[in-house]
C-alpha cells in the first residue's frame, strides 16, 4: 500500500486557526486520524465482506434485508452505539429476463437490460419499427400520436468528465424518456446506456413513469449495441425490433435504513451525519455503487470513535433503496422532522472510490472560515477548495434541501460511469489506496466538524423575488 505524502503530514501543523472555531488540538487529532487511515484495513474488510457475503442487494429485496442484518452486525462489532434499523415500505420490482432482436433484413440479437421499475412486455414480446431520436429534446419535439405502433429509441451519448457532470444530461432519457414516448403513442422505449464504457454491458437505472400516462416497457442498450443499431438504421430507416421482457412490479415490500452512532462527549444531541446507501442495482455486486460509500463512512466514523473523542455525535446512516428513487432518504426526513435542527452537517459518499480532490460547501457565509480551516488540514491529501453550492450527495440532498448544512467531498469520477449500474461493478475495480484516501478525508473531516466551536449553519436562503 502506498503511503500519502508523509513529509507533508509530518511537518509542523502550525495553521493560523485563530477565530476559525477549530482548536489546534482538534487539528492535530485530525492529522493523526489521517495517518491511522493509511494503515487501517477496516474499510477494505467491510467492502470485501459486503460485496462477497451479500453481493447484489436490490432495494426492497430479500438480499437487501440480509444487507441490513449485515450492517447491524458490523456496526455493533465496530463499537457503534444506538445501532438500529428504521423500516419503511415501498413498491417492489423484479428484473426478469430480456431479449432484443433486430428483424429482417439484418436479423441479430442486441445486448440490453431492463430499466429499474420497468413493466414487462406481453408474452411473445413487442415487434414494431423503431424511430430514432438524437436527444430527449427531439423526442419532446415529436407531436403527440406520432409514435403510435412504434418503439422509440433515444441515442444521445454520455460525455466523460472528471466531475461526472455528463451523467445529469445523459440520464434524462432514462428517467423521463418512457413517459415522453408513451405520451406520443410509443409501445416501448429503448435508450443508449447512460454510461461511458465500451464493454458491451448495458447500464440499468430507474425509469420514472408519470401518473395518468400508460407505463411502457423501457430498456437500455449497451453502447456497442447502440452504435450497431445506429448503423443498422442508416441501412434501413424503419427496421423492426422485437423486445421481450418479463420484468414485473411487485406489491408493497419492506426496506429500511441502518443507523449507528459515535456519541459526542460534550454535545451528544448535535449530529454530524455521514451517509451512504446500502442497496445496489442487482447486476453487479454494488462495489463502487455504493459499497465503497458504506465502507468509507463506516470506517471513517469507526476510526474517530477508536482514536479520538468527538464533541458532537457522528451518525452513520446507511440508506435503503436509494436506487429506486431516494426512498430511504425520504423516509428518513419524514421520520426525523422533529430533530432536524440538531443536524449540524450532512455529507454522503456515493461516487465510487476515486480520490477526493475538492471540497464543496453548502453552509452559512459566516461559517466559511471554519470550513476553510478544515480544508487546510485536508490539503495534504490533495483536496482543493470548491464551490459554495453543495447539497452533500444524493440521499442527503433530501436533508440539505430540508435545511441541513452540507459539505460534499468531490471525488474523481473519470471512470465511474464505465462501471456504474452494470454487471461490471465488482470489488476488483476498487483501488485500496484510493479507498484509504477517502477514509482519511472523511475521518479527519468528521472529527473536525464535530469539534468546531459554534457548529455549522445552513446557507442563507436567496432573497425572495417580487
Ligand atoms: Zn449510488
Ligand 1 centroid distance, CA of 79 (Å): 26
- Do 196 and 229 touch, CB atoms closer than 8 A? no
pLDDT at 32: 98
Mean pLDDT of 414-430: 98
- Do 46 and 299 touch, CB atoms closer than 8 A? yes
* 29 part of a folded domain: yes
Rg (Cα) of the chain, in Å, rounded?
23
Mean pLDDT of 258-268: 98
Residues 176 and 226 in one domain: yes
Number of neighbouring beta carbons within 10 Å of residue 381 = 20
Mean pLDDT of 82-100: 98
pLDDT at 461: 76
Residues 150 and 18 in one domain: no
Residues 224 and 322 in one domain: no
Residues 220 and 318 in one domain: no
Residues 133 and 242 in one domain: yes
* 2 part of a folded domain: no
**Which of helix, strand or coil describes residue 28?**
helix
Which of 211, 246, 281 terminates a domain? The answer is 246
Ligand 1 centroid distance, CA of 276 (Å): 8
Q: Which residues are marked as active site?
A: 322
Residues 83 and 118 in one domain: no
Q: How many domains does the chain have?
A: 2
Ligand 1 centroid distance, CA of 350 (Å): 5
CATH number at residue 174: 3.50.30.30
Share of the chain above pLDDT 90, in %: 90
pLDDT at 8: 45
Residues 262 and 386 in one domain: yes
Give the pLDDT band (50/70/90) at residue 368: very high
Ligand 1 centroid distance, CA of 277 (Å): 7
Question: At residue 20, what are phi and psi to the nearest 5 degrees?
Answer: -105, -5
pLDDT tens digits, 18-73: 778 888 999 999 999 999 999 999 999 999 999 999 999 999 999 999 999 999 99
C-alpha atoms less than 13 angstroms from C-alpha of 48 in its C-beta half-sphere: 8
Ligand 1 centroid distance, CA of 290 (Å): 5
**Which of helix, strand or coil describes residue 27?**
helix
Residues 315 and 341 in one domain: yes
Which of 246, 277, 294 terminates a domain? The answer is 246
Mean pLDDT of 438-465: 89
Give the pLDDT band (50/70/90) at residue 16: low
Which of 246, 261, 288 terminates a domain? The answer is 246
In order, the DSSP letters of 346-400 are: EEE--BTBPPEEEEEEES-GGGHHHHHHHHHHHGGGTPEE--S----STTTHHHH
pLDDT at 17: 74
pLDDT tens digits, 215-257: 999 999 999 999 999 999 999 999 999 999 999 999 999 999 9
Residues 265 and 237 in one domain: no
pLDDT at 229: 98
Ligand 1 centroid distance, CA of 57 (Å): 12
Ligand 1 centroid distance, CA of 265 (Å): 32
Alpha helices (H) in 50-204, listed in sequence order: 62-77, 136-141, 166-170, 172-183
Ligand 1 centroid distance, CA of 322 (Å): 7
- Do 443 and 387 touch, CB atoms closer than 8 A? no
pLDDT at 15: 57
Number of neighbouring beta carbons within 10 Å of residue 143 = 8
Q: pLDDT at residue 327 above 60?
A: yes
State which H helix or E strand residue 432 sits in. Answer: helix 432-451
Ligand 1 centroid distance, CA of 376 (Å): 29
Q: How far apart are CA 353 and CA 296, in angstroms?
A: 9
Q: pLDDT at residue 331 above 60?
A: yes
* 168 part of a folded domain: yes
pTM: 0.94
pLDDT at 5: 47
Domain limits at 237?
96-246
C-alpha atoms less than 13 angstroms from C-alpha of 86 in its C-beta half-sphere: 21
CATH number at residue 329: 3.40.630.10
Q: Report, in this order, helix, strand and coil percent for the chain, each rounded to 5.
A: 35, 25, 40
Give the pLDDT band (50/70/90) at residue 14: low
pLDDT at 19: 73
Q: How far apart are CA 311 and CA 419, in angstroms?
A: 39
Q: Which three cell numbers stand for residue 230?
A: 445506429
Amino acid at each position: 500500500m502506498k503511503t500519502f505524502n508523509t513529509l507533508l503530514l509530518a511537518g509542523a501543523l502550525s495553521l493560523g486557526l485563530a477565530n476559525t472555531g477549530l482548536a489546534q488540538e482538534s487539528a492535530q487529532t485530525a492529522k493523526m486520524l489521517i495517518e491511522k487511515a493509511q494503515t487501517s484495513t477496516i474499510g477494505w474488510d467491510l467492502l470485501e465482506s459486503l460485496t462477497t457475503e451479500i453481493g447484489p442487494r436490490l432495494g426492497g429485496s430479500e438480499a437487501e434485508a440480509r444487507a441490513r442484518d449485515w450492517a447491524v452486525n458490523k456496526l455493533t462489532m465496530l463499537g457503534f452505539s444506538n445501532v438500529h434499523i428504521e423500516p419503511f415500505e415501498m413498491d417492489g420490482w423484479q428484473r426478469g429476463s430480456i431479449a432484443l432482436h433486430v428483424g429482417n433484413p439484418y436479423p441479430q440479437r442486441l445486448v440490453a437490460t431492463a430499466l429499474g421499475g420497468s413493466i414487462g412486455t406481453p408474452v411473445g414480446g413487442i415487434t414494431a419499427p423503431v424511430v430514432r431520436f438524437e436527444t430527449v429534446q427531439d423526442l419532446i419535439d415529436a407531436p403527440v400520436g406520432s409514435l403510435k405502433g412504434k418503439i422509440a429509441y433515444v441515442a444521445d451519448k454520455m460525455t466523460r468528465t472528471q466531475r461526472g457532470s455528463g451523467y445529469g444530461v445523459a440520464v434524462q432519457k432514462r428517467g423521463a424518456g418512457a413517459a415522453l414516448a408513451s405520451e406520443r403513442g410509443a409501445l416501448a422505449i429503448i435508450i443508449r446506456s447512460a454510461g461511458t464504457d465500451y464493454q458491451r454491458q448495458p447500464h440499468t437505472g430507474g425509469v420514472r413513469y408519470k401518473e395518468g400516462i400508460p407505463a411502457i416497457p423501457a430498456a437500455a442498450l449497451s453502447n456497442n449495441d447502440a452504435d450497431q443499431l445506429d448503423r443498422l438504421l442508416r441501412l434501413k430507416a424503419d427496421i423492426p425490433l422485437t423486445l421481450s421482457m418479463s420484468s414485473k412490479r411487485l406489491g408493497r415490500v419492506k426496506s429500511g435504513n441502518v443507523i449507528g452512532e459515535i456519541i459526542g462527549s460534550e454535545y451528544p444531541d448535535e449530529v454530524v451525519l455521514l451517509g451512504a446507501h446500502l442497496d445496489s442495482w442487482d447486476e453487479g455486486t454494488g462495489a463502487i455503487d455504493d459499497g465503497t460509500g458504506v465502507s468509507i463512512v463506516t470506517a471513517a466514523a469507526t476510526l474517530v470513535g477508536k482514536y479520538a473523542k468527538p464533541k458532537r455525535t457522528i451518525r452513520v446512516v446507511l440508506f435503503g433503496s436509494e436506487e429506486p428513487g431516494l426512498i430511504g432518504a425520504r423516509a428518513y426526513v419524514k421520520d426525523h422532522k422533529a430533530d432536524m435542527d440538531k443536524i449540524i452537517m450532512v455529507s454522503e459518499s456515493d461516487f465510487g472510490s476515486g480520490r477526493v480532490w475538492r471540497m464543496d460547501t453548502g453552509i452559512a457565509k459566516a461559517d466559511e472560515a471554519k470550513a476553510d480551516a478544515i480544508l487546510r488540514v485536508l490539503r495534504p491529501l490533495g483536496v482543493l477548495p470548491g464551490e459554495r453550492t453543495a447539497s452533500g450527495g444524493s440521499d442527503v440532498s433530501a436533508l440539505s434541501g430540508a435545511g441541513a448544512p452540507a459539505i460534499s467531498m468531490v471525488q474523481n469520477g473519470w471512470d465511474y460511469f464505465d462501471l456504474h449500474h452494470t454487471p461490471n461493478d465488482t470489488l476488483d475495480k476498487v483501488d485500496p489506496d484510493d479507498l484509504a484516501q477517502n477514509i482519511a478525508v472523511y475521518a479527519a473531516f468528521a472529527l473536525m466538524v464535530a469539534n468546531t466551536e459554534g457548529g455549522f449553519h445552513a446557507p442563507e436562503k436567496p432573497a425572495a423575488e417580487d
